[in-house]
Chain A
């Protein structure tokens, strides 16, 4: 049986990795992800986890070693943040294109410059097109759960894609929370051993990472995108099975008190928790306000989002990243997804929580008020920055 215990979320992530019986971890220190590999290194050093921990000399090599390890058939994990992810960037698309189901826990961090070790989503948004499955956790429990799910879904031979589990730097990583830690038997029931489609092995030689001239490159890329879309079915099965064994329910797009809501807030990441408090408060006052939380970021759940916002008049989207020179990443996805809808809500965009700045309840309240106002005035083309001086 699971037991509920209070621990730092980074350590809960490490527990999930251990329970997944991971075989190789290659990681490089960077705030705020560092506690995850630190704890894993400790587990390996103590003999709690029979794995190889490779303390590489850079994040580029971390992801490269993960590619080698996964290609050799080992269950593989790494963790990073911000600049570390940027340094991995080149290898990220190789990992997904070679269909290697590496799991990466990403403690979201702002990008330099100015240097900021604190949280926002600039890091993951910069690699959103790398072909990885990407999910967002909002708290410790979700981080723990989604990591187990990530191994199961990514390694499924019908999927065979790497997975990023996002959890916000400091706001989630460094918080001590009560988390239900599953026991080994439950995890073993949920997560079968890794049986890759192809492995580097002298007994059956294969060539991996060939080069593709123009006559074949397009076909490989189209096939990859098709496979990523197809993976959604296995992802849903992964959630269903998770609920059966652990009793916690997940979906691509999750809503909170959204029934009959005229105004919907849409949030990705840990600020959903503050947003829920606001929705409770406004609902008590009798205002028809609800919340939409994006769990799955890639492949983007367009149809699920359409269903979730159907009937709403105003959709207020909060991004924790700027996409310089155009719409912020999440709102641009929302607009693209809802454009074909005959009757769609007015969409208002806010950016906030950059570089670790908090967004408090009263700022969420302002966002809703201001969002409704902008929608009514028909001024939803611009975005506003929360708490900017």
Chain B
């Protein structure tokens, strides 16, 4: 730990641009990801935030957690709002009303704001080529309104609007692939990231911001409240999602797919599913079905990497070994019987 305090400030921007004291749930992976992203971006940024958890936890009048210029307008329009900000700064700089030089324009929203209600406005902004970065903080359901399904909810998950029952498995559809949709706009940079891999997340956000033109980063944001798991295993959950291939980390740079971490053998998805209350109702055959789907998607991704001429991606593994260690140390916790995991019943306020 002594070494950590010596080296961490050299590796990471010590500035905190989202102040502590906000109202995020205990163990929130999303606010952690926001914090890392802001560290990567530094102070020279303007942010437009879609309605969702991040706006509710951070901006209760008359207080604010944001130390950067920040605007929240509505649920579905963060991309359009940032289009306006970017255009305004261009013309104001041209007319000498603001100093020249680049300010990062950041739009952010949850999975509902990105893949459902805000998809059109995001697509429009990507297509028009505004110089901005969009970050989707994906916690895989409408958590702010009390865990309703979105198109980003994975197959089999229990939500309040796709509950499991005699006739239902819970979420019946497959998770929408937002990163692929963003990449289909032929924008210069798309990446997936997770706050369980902070250095990777920060590197990707920085890269995305520095790219000229639109960039998209899709961040898996672990949500103990909505996923119904213990609040102290958030980081581990993110790692399990990545190591099981459920949420692979990769980049698409100018159309070229690049895996961030490759694994000789993926962890069984069961390890990930069993820790979460939202999958508790799944029978073995349904878990097998999920496993098959994950394997299929993983191969598809690998073939995309291959097609782009990247024979062997990745070396990395300082990152990959870390979770293994964590796992070894906390073995008892990982294998803790699921019935003991916390099941927060508190419903969040409406949007």
- Contact check, B83 vs A220: say whether CB atoms are below 8 A apart: no
A184 sits at the interface (CB 8 A): no
- Contact check, A26 vs B77: say whether CB atoms are below 8 A apart: no
- Contact check, A91 vs B77: say whether CB atoms are below 8 A apart: yes
**Which residues of chain A from 222 to 277 have any CB-CB distance to chain B below 8 Å in the complex?**
none
CA distance A220 to B62 in the complex (A): 11
- Contact check, B70 vs A207: say whether CB atoms are below 8 A apart: yes
Q: How far is the CB of B63 from chain A (nearest CB, A)?
A: 8
Which of A71-79, A119-127, A172-180, A303-311 sits within the interface?
A71-79
- Contact check, A74 vs B64: say whether CB atoms are below 8 A apart: no
B162 sits at the interface (CB 8 A): no
B304 sits at the interface (CB 8 A): no
- Contact check, A209 vs B90: say whether CB atoms are below 8 A apart: no
CA distance A60 to B118 in the complex (A): 11
Instruction: Report which A residues bind B (CB closer than 8 A).
Output: 23-24, 26, 50-52, 54-58, 60-62, 64-74, 76, 90-91, 94, 98, 200-202, 204-213, 216, 220
25 sampled A-B residue pairs with Cβ under 8 A: A23-B91, A23-B92, A52-B87, A60-B77, A61-B79, A61-B124, A64-B77, A64-B84, A65-B80, A65-B84, A69-B85, A71-B81, A72-B84, A72-B85, A74-B91, A76-B88, A98-B73, A200-B69, A200-B85, A205-B66, A207-B66, A209-B71, A210-B62, A211-B60, A216-B62
- Contact check, B73 vs A205: say whether CB atoms are below 8 A apart: no
- Contact check, A65 vs B68: say whether CB atoms are below 8 A apart: no
Residues of A within 8 A of B84 (CB): 24, 26, 54, 64-72, 76
Chain A interface main SS type: mixed
Residues of A within 8 A of B46 (CB): 72, 200-202
Instruction: Report which B residues bind A (CB closer than 8 A).
Output: 43-46, 48, 55-56, 59-62, 64, 66-74, 76-77, 79-92, 94-95, 97-98, 103, 120-121, 123-124, 127-128
Top 9 closest pairs, chain A to chain B, by CB? A68-B84, A57-B124, A64-B80, A65-B84, A69-B84, A74-B88, A61-B80, A64-B77, A72-B88
- Contact check, A58 vs B69: say whether CB atoms are below 8 A apart: no
| Most chain A CB within a 10 A radius of its CB, from B56, B59, B72, B88 | B88
- Contact check, A91 vs B73: say whether CB atoms are below 8 A apart: yes
Of B55, B70, B73, B103, the residue contacting A94 (CB under 8 A) is B73
- Contact check, B70 vs A60: say whether CB atoms are below 8 A apart: no
- Contact check, B98 vs A216: say whether CB atoms are below 8 A apart: no
CA distance A23 to B43 in the complex (A): 26
Of A24, A62, A209, the residue contacting B88 (CB under 8 A) is A24
Residue of A whose beta carbon sits closest to that of B78: A64
Residues of A within 8 A of B43 (CB): 202
Q: How far is the CB of A91 from chain B (nearest CB, A)?
A: 6
CA distance A86 to B60 in the complex (A): 29
Q: How far is the CB of B34 from chain A (nearest CB, A)?
A: 14
Known pairs A68-B81, A68-B83, A211-B55; A60 contacts B128 (CB<8 A): no
CA distance A257 to B17 in the complex (A): 64
CA distance A71 to B49 in the complex (A): 14
Residues of A within 8 A of B61 (CB): 210-213, 216, 220
- Contact check, B45 vs A72: say whether CB atoms are below 8 A apart: no
Residue of A whose beta carbon sits closest to that of B45: A202
- Contact check, B92 vs A60: say whether CB atoms are below 8 A apart: no
- Contact check, A24 vs B120: say whether CB atoms are below 8 A apart: no
- Contact check, B120 vs A58: say whether CB atoms are below 8 A apart: yes
Residues of A within 8 A of B73 (CB): 64, 67-68, 91, 94, 98, 209
Of B88, B91, B121, the residue contacting A61 (CB under 8 A) is B121
CA distance A52 to B46 in the complex (A): 19
Residue of A whose beta carbon sits closest to that of B43: A202
CA distance A91 to B87 in the complex (A): 19
CA distance A26 to B87 in the complex (A): 10
Beyond A24-B91, A73-B88, A202-B46: 10 further Cβ-contacts under 8 Å?
A60-B121, A67-B71, A68-B84, A71-B84, A74-B92, A200-B46, A200-B70, A200-B85, A201-B69, A212-B61
Residues of A within 8 A of B68 (CB): 202, 205
Residues of A within 8 A of B79 (CB): 61
Residues of A within 8 A of B66 (CB): 205, 207
CA distance A24 to B97 in the complex (A): 14
Q: How far is the CB of A18 from chain B (nearest CB, A)?
A: 14
- Contact check, A51 vs B72: say whether CB atoms are below 8 A apart: no
